[in-house]
Amino acid sequence: MSSVSLPPRARVVVIGGGVIGTSIAYHFAHLGWTDTVLVERDQLTSGTTWHAAGLMVTFGSMSETSTELRRYTRDLYERLEAETGLATGFAPVGFIEVAGDEDRLEEYRRVSAFNRHCGVDVHEITPREIAELFPIADVTDLLAGFYVERDGRVNPVDCTMSMAKGARQLGVTICEGVSVERVLTERGRVCGVRTNHGDIECEFVVNCGGMWARQLGERNGVNIPNQAAEHYYLITEQVPGIGRDWPVLEDPARHGYYREEVGGLMIGLFEPVCAPWNVGEIPAGASFLDLAPDWDRMGPYVERAMSRVPISFEVGIKKFFCGPESFTPDLAPVVGPAPEIDNYFVCAGLNSIGILTGGGWGRVVAQWVTSGDPGVDVTGVHIDRLHDYQRNPEYRATRTVESLGMVYQCHYPGRSMTTARGAKRSPIHHRLVDQRACFKDVSGWEGADWYAPDGVVPEVGELTWGRPHYFDVWASEHRACREGVILMDMSFMTKFAVEGRDAGRVLERISANRVDGAPNTITYTQWLNERGTIEADLTVTKLDDERFFVVASDTAHRHALTWLRRAIAAGDHRAHVADVTSAWAQINLQGPRSRDLLRSLTHADVTDAALPYRGVADIDIGFARVRCIRITYLGELGYELYVPTEHAVHVYDRIVAVGADHGLRHAGLKALASLRMEKAYRDYGHDIDNTDSVLAAGLGFAVDLDKPDGFVGRDAVVAAKSAGPLTQRLVQVLLLEPDALLFHGEVVYGDGRPRGYLRAASYGHSLGGAVGLAMIDLGSPVTQAALDAMAWEVEVADRLLPARLSIRPLYDPTNARIIG
Ligand SMILES: Cc1cc2nc3c(=O)[nH]c(=O)nc-3n(C[C@H](O)[C@H](O)[C@H](O)COP(=O)(O)OP(=O)(O)OC[C@H]3O[C@@H](n4cnc5c(N)ncnc54)[C@H](O)[C@@H]3O)c2cc1C
């Protein structure tokens, strides 16, 4: 045993002394949790942090959370020296993103509008202005640059050390040379850590183990599917005249970023096809790594990147550096409480932006652990969005090849991951292939996006900011649902069987709506936290007093399951939940002619009287028994058929055979998006999230404040109601110009002032224009009269387009088509 002396106990142990762990420890201290111990296997920064290029950039993300974290991080690095006495090396030299083609220009104009709305002071500059700021860049082919004066660069080691000093000053213990071997648990809850120098008792751990996080997680069955990959920059010999105060330049189309480094030029690379590093196991003793570069693989990318600054060819390369950084399957970090073990938090898989978001993640995670509230939208980064299969070596090796390169791709709408496909398939997948479906990745499932008619290839084809080549096909699927009947496979939906004597009680307790009423009824509801903001958005079907069926979206799978399991455990309820997602296919029949089709398929009585809206019945179709639920997410008369997986092909074949006489069409997820958006139906993680109160989300109609035993979050909802009318609310936005498209992040202006942005959007083929949902902040009550009294515009790239805003859905506001 060495001389390291560990504290026997702490409130929280932070594992890993990179920028992330150190920032979290620093922020714990500032929140008063000074009884924090940070343990680092080797020395602080010895993992990935030490060799980062130190770009500190606030521009570029279409996520409000990420942009906010970047801004916070930049401010923190700017002010830290005054607090700790240690400089962070932050130099606000500025940052320029360049666009050399029309598609990039469109993207960066969209991003800059969104970023400006989020407080980033970015503006478009001309190629001449780029050349003035970065004279050695070749700007001859450039169209524009996007310049943030206050961004710049930071020294990753110095900012980590400065945060470490700040943490120590407030009482945090930092132990270097101490490796956590496993996290200790008792009855599914963290109770300590076992290190190579003994145990520390604790209530919480935060695994910030960087590229080692997955291995450490695995020892406790915690799923952290990040994967290290080679990551490069080069440093040239001295470049005459280069200025230390020149901005950081970034040219994603040429895979490179550029900045001064000790009189030479640093050129960093994000190659489009990358190389995972050590898929099997990251060596436990690897520190301050400087890997042998793969010149053969990288050569063409290096050459292309250097061509932006031609002098780099003349001066020569001094150092070609390769270090490993960890990437995740969807290029978002892995953050938050692990579903597998209570009080086990994770912050890892930073996808090459750990320095420039590190300050922010420290703040968020520390707040999350200490209060239970992350304070920002975490739906896109939450650890529970990820699934066990994603840590399979073959999956990681295959997906990581694509993920690093995504950083610098043009982020066209409708792009789907192309690697590691086919991992999950609906039981009727092959039938949909026969129907010429074009598939996309839906949480690992192959989801039919649209169906190619004869003569059209079922491929996405060239990506574009304009109308995709299948726009008319999509429109016809949309119309088929509005006018006839469509079949839509949604077998990827999450399904739980909740059973037992207390099943109704526990579901009633966590649901804001009344879900334990009459049997054979489906109820739309939210699950709220104590703050009254939304944790899940789903349906609960009561089958009988002790049997319930819960259906949520694919992305909510593990979050909803964990929420439910923890609620059952907390109340000591006699109930259990089984994840039956794989047991049931979900085939939707939707549209005004769906009842006629159903009637031809079954002997069961499906009249309005026997099977009203929200009704549930077990019906016969062919040789199978099918759970038929009359409900819609598309805004028409319709039925969700839950079919035992083994019967799915048989039932599907019967529907298609009988459907021929009813004009049945197949419709894909493109149509789902446009149909639901016309009805303003919410999609958790896209247009509503964990920061939204159920009232601001416009879902007050699904809240039952009169339930006898209340529900989790009720007090917060009551308090919000009594505070007066909402000044912030999710509303529908319809563009009045039919040709323009909306995707996400477009800023909405009321009377010339920014009031919010589009959280999600699609094209309303029935409404005749792009349509989406935006959280609008008026500062005064958001009523329809107030909306109507204002002039509305949406900023689409560099154009302001007139729009109409509505609180009620613009399509069928009275639900006549659904109920009638
Ligand atoms: C070439 C390159 C350039 C980059 N440039 C930038 C940039 O310009 N801007 C930017 O924002 N990001 C950049 N990054 C990314 C950035 O470096 C990372 O995102 C960041 O450093 C990750 O920090 P971390 O704390 O998660 O991981 P790490 O720095 O790897 O820290 C994890 C720590 O955990 C310790 N540890 C692991 N297991 C255990 C255990 N069992 N017990 C105790 N300790 C353990 C490790 O020793 C390590 O110190 C770059 C990365 C590379 C490779």
Half-sphere exposure of 341 (CA within 13 A, CB side): 27
Residue nearest to atom 52 of ligand 1 (CA): 52
Nearest atom in ligand 1 to 232's CA: 1
What is residue 1's predicted lDDT score, i.e. its pLDDT? Answer: 44
Ligand 1 centroid to Cα of residue 41, in Å, is 13
Ligand 1 centroid to Cα of residue 192, in Å, is 24
DSSP 452: P
Pocket test residue of 26, 55, 212 for ligand 1, highest count of atoms within 8 A of CB: 212
CB neighbour list of residue 117: distance below 8 Å, 6 or more residues apart: 747, 754, 757
Say if ligand 1 is within 6 A of residue 54 CB: yes
Say if ligand 1 is within 6 A of residue 60 CB: no
Q: Which of 581, 614, 599 is nearest to 490 (CA)?
A: 581
The torsion region of residue 255 among left (phi > 0), alpha (psi -120 to 50) and beta comes to: left
Pocket test residue of 355, 361, 381 for ligand 1, highest count of atoms within 8 A of CB: 355
Angle at 740 between CA 475 and CA 332, to 5 degrees: 85
Distance CA 232, CA 644 (A): 50
Residue nearest to atom 25 of ligand 1 (CA): 18
Give 791-817 as a 3 state SS string: CEEEEECCEEEEEEEECCCCCCCCCHH
Ligand 1 centroid to Cα of residue 219, in Å, is 21
DSSP 64: H
Residue nearest to atom 34 of ligand 1 (CA): 16
Please count the other Cβ atoms lying within 10 Å of the Cβ belonging to residue 73: 28
Say if ligand 1 is within 6 A of residue 55 CB: yes
What is residue 557's predicted lDDT score, i.e. its pLDDT? Answer: 98
| Coil, helix or strand at residue 640 | strand
Nearest atom in ligand 1 to 324's CA: 53
Are the C-beta atoms of residues 295 and 230 closer than 8 Å to each other?
no
Q: Which of 531, 526, 535 is nearest to 716 (CA)?
A: 531
What is residue 137's predicted lDDT score, i.e. its pLDDT? Answer: 98
Give the chain's residues under pLDDT 50: 1
DSSP 246: P
Distance CA 373, CA 235 (A): 42
Token pair for residue 769? 């224009």
Report the share of the chain in percent with pLDDT over 70: 100
With a threshold of 0.85, does the pTM exceed it? yes
What are 183-189's contacts with CB under 8 Å, separation 24+? 183/207, 183/216, 183/219, 183/220, 183/341, 183/344, 185/220, 185/341, 185/344, 188/341, 188/342, 189/341, 189/342, 189/343
User: Phi, psi at residue 91, to the nearest 5°?
Assistant: -125, 110
Say if ligand 1 is within 6 A of residue 46 CB: yes
Tell me the β-bridge partners of 615: 521
What are 406-409's contacts with CB under 8 Å, separation 24+? 406/331, 407/252, 407/270, 407/331, 407/351, 407/352, 408/252, 408/253, 408/255, 408/270, 408/272, 409/252, 409/272
Please count the other Cβ atoms lying within 10 Å of the Cβ belonging to residue 288: 12
Are the C-beta atoms of residues 38 and 17 closer than 8 Å to each other?
yes
Strands 665-666 and 728-735: unpaired
Could you report the per-residue pLDDT of 403-440, keeping only the tens digit for each? 999 999 999 998 899 999 999 999 999 999 999 999 99
Tell me how far apart the terminal alpha carbons of the chain are, to the nearest angstrom: 77
Say if ligand 1 is within 6 A of residue 209 CB: yes
Whole-number mean pLDDT of the chain? Answer: 97
Ligand 1 centroid to Cα of residue 236, in Å, is 24
User: E strands along 213-263, which residues?
Assistant: 227-238, 248-251, 256-261
Nearest atom in ligand 1 to 195's CA: 42
Angle at 549 between CA 544 and CA 553, to 5 degrees: 160
What is residue 3's predicted lDDT score, i.e. its pLDDT? Answer: 67
Please count the other Cβ atoms lying within 10 Å of the Cβ belonging to residue 414: 14
Tell me the β-bridge partners of 487: 589, 666
Ligand 1 centroid to Cα of residue 757, in Å, is 33
Say if ligand 1 is within 6 A of residue 175 CB: no
The sheet carrying 198-201 orders its strands as 180-186, 189-195, 198-201
Instruction: Using alpha carbons, list the distances in angstroms from residue 322 to 51, 298, 514, 641, 726.
Output: 9, 11, 57, 53, 52
